[in-house]
């Protein structure tokens, strides 16, 4: 009988946890749904905030990417939602919660198909076909603003910024901050629109409406030595010298090795060190610099030297601030003082050091090559200012994308309902399982307006019935109807109400959510291979998996 027994074949390490089949897909869908339920209540203008405590730090936010990142999700399938939220935030800056909810809803709609035995690849194929049709229709519904006048286009950008701020902490002051955001983006090079050239500086204290925009660069006063108080704090049309050079006496000692044979020679070494630092300082002064900024430290000797000659200096300037000063003033960062001349200097209309709250700030205003701007953000609590900064970042990203794309659609769930109506109509023209899957995709799109209505305290069933009726008319007027959180009826023409969003945000959200749903549906097995404690101890540093000498077999 032994010749008929099959030998045991062990492919995986003993203790390895494996899950596979239909139950694995359903388990992944349930995990994704649990994560989406956490951020669901944050969607829309009346969305709620989440307080997340990580050690001593407390974060209050309703930004989907921020919340998911702080949750530290460990489930491998649910981590996909975190990744798509981050990609949405990096790409367009807004719509992270919508993307997360849409992906979870697509999986929720696919769950009955999986449980009934339909192969996941058929669902994936149907979803991708629905996405292709949705993107095609989205482009057809988009409104091109490229041919609008400069003033009309600016008004559109203001409306898009206000729509982005509607669901944020700054919703009550959206008109004030939308003006700051659009003005800041307008300072950038229109061909590049580099986000890093818009600085946001947080200053605790005062009202949020005390925030202001600096047409140029502003940064907090850096660490300074004695003698700084004697330096002038205001210049008109100054010559600005930008350095990546340390102006400290100790640097000469640390960068050289000198051997002496007689004690008398030590004094000559000290004199040489002083001569070197004074030579550098003298070259800077003779070149005509009035403001000296350096990424590296400027010591007490140099600080007093510049103060005696009415020159302002600041050392340890942050890299991003120095880069923005370079862009705004037209200066060039030098790594040596040799060859220093006025052509390498930058300039600005006005430099001054002012008191902002409890901090001192250096302001460079009216720069000739102003391709940068700084928003000085005020507020009471630190958590409030941090959330306000995240809100402004979303609005800035939206305005940048609108600058480039020049296409907008109506928000408030209007475009999702219109695409949903189109997909339902298309589903009637096909047969088989594809009809049900495309219908499910159309139904999943309704999660956006439904959730907006629920979070605003409205009757979501009544609102959805009204919106379906409006969109079913199929005319130009009913196309843009979405959720109205302020009106008595609960629905309105969101295009006429100036609730606008860039088309790029919706396109990226649809693509990311569908790709995430298809990726999770295609996973039918999860293998968890625990690391052995013995193997972990045996691994020497720098050589993972290789036993140390003396322990090899």
The residues annotated as belonging to the active site are: 63, 96-97, 394
- Name the one residue in this structure whose structure tokens are 């999770």: 520
Of 232, 223, 193, residue with least CA distance to 351? 232
Token code pair at residue 35: 């994560």
276-280 contacts, C-beta under 8 A, 24 or more apart: 276/252, 277/247, 277/248, 277/249, 277/252, 277/301, 277/302, 278/305, 280/245, 280/247, 280/337
> For residues 423 and 416, what is the distance between their CA atoms, to the nearest angstrom?
11
Q: Are 176 and 162 in contact (CB under 8 A)?
A: no
CA torsion 227-229-233-238 (nearest 10°) is: 0
DSSP H stretches of helix in 116-240 = 120-141, 150-166, 174-186
Number of other CB atoms surrounding residue 414 within 10 Å: 29
Q: Residue 413: helix, strand or coil by DSSP? A: coil
**Measured at the alpha carbon of residue 311, what is the angle toward residues 308 and 315, in degrees to the nearest 5?**
110
Token code pair at residue 120: 């996941």
Token code pair at residue 352: 């001054």
Q: Are 48 and 41 in contact (CB under 8 A)?
A: yes
Q: Is the dihedral of CA 112, 113, 115, 121 positive or negative?
A: negative
């Amino acid at each position: 009988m032994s010749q008929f027994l099959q030998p045991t074949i062990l492919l995986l390490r003993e203790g390895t946890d494996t899950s596979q089949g239909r139950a694995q897909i359903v388990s992944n869908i349930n995990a994704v749904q649990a994560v989406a339920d956490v951020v669901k209540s944050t969607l829309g203008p009346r969305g709620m905030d989440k307080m997340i405590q990580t050690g001593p730090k407390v974060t209050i936010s309703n930004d989907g990417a921020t919340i998911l990142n702080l949750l530290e999700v460990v489930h491998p399938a649910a981590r996909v939602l975190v990744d798509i939220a981050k990609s949405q935030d990096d790409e367009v800056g807004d719509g992270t919660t919508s993307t997360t909810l849409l992906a979870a809803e697509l999986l929720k709609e696919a769950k009955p198909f999986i449980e009934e035995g339909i192969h996941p690849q058929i669902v994936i194929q149907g979803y991708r076909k629905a996405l292709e049709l949705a993107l095609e229709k989205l482009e057809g519904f988009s409104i091109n603003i490229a041919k609008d006048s400069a003033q009309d286009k600016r008004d559109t950008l203001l409306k898009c910024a206000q729509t982005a701020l509607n669901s944020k902490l700054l919703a009550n002051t959206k008109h004030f901050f939308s003006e700051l955001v659009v003005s800041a983006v307008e300072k950038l090079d229109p061909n590049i629109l580099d986000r890093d050239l818009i600085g946001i500086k947080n200053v605790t204290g005062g009202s949020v409406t005390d925030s202001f925009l600096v047409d140029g660069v502003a940064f907090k006063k850096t660490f300074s030595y004695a003698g700084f108080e004697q330096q002038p704090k205001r210049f008109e049309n100054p010559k600005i010298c930008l350095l990546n050079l340390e102006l400290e006496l100790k640097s000469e000692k640390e960068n050289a090795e000198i051997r002496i044979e007689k004690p008398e020679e030590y004094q000559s070494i000290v004199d040489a060190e002083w001569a070197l630092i004074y030579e550098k300082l003298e070259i800077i002064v003779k070149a005509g610099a009035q403001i000296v900024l350096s990424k590296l430290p400027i010591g007490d000797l140099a600080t007093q030297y510049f103060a005696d000659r009415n020159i302002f200096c600041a050392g340890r300037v942050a890299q991003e601030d120095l880069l923005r000063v370079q862009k705004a003033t037209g200066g060039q960062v030098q790594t040596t003082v040799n060859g220093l001349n006025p052509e390498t200097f930058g300039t600005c209309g006005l430099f001054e050091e002012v008191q902002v709250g409890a901090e001192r700030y250096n302001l460079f205003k009216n720069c000739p090559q102003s391709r940068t701007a700084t928003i000085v953000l005020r507020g009471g609590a630190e958590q409030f200012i941090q959330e306000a900064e995240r809100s402004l970042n979303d609005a800035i990203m939206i305005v940048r994308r609108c600058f480039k794309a020049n296409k907008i659609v109506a928000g408030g769930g209007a475009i999702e309902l219109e695409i949903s109506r189109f997909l339902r109509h298309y589903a009637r023209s096909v047969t088989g399982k594809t009809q049900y899957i495309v219908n499910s995709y159309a139904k999943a799109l309704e999660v956006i307006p439904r959730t907006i209505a629920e979070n605003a305290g409205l009757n979501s069933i009544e609102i959805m019935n009204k919106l379906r009726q409006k969109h079913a008319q199929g005319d130009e007027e009913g196309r843009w109807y979405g959720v109205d959180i302020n009106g008595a009826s609960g629905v309105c023409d969101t295009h006429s109400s100036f609730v606008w969003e860039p088309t790029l945000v919706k396109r990226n959200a649809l693509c990311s959510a569908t790709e995430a749903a298809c990726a999770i549906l295609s996973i039918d097995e999860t293998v968890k291979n625990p690391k052995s404690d013995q193997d972990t101890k045996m691994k020497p540093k720098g050589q993972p998996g290789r036993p140390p000498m003396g322990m090899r077999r």
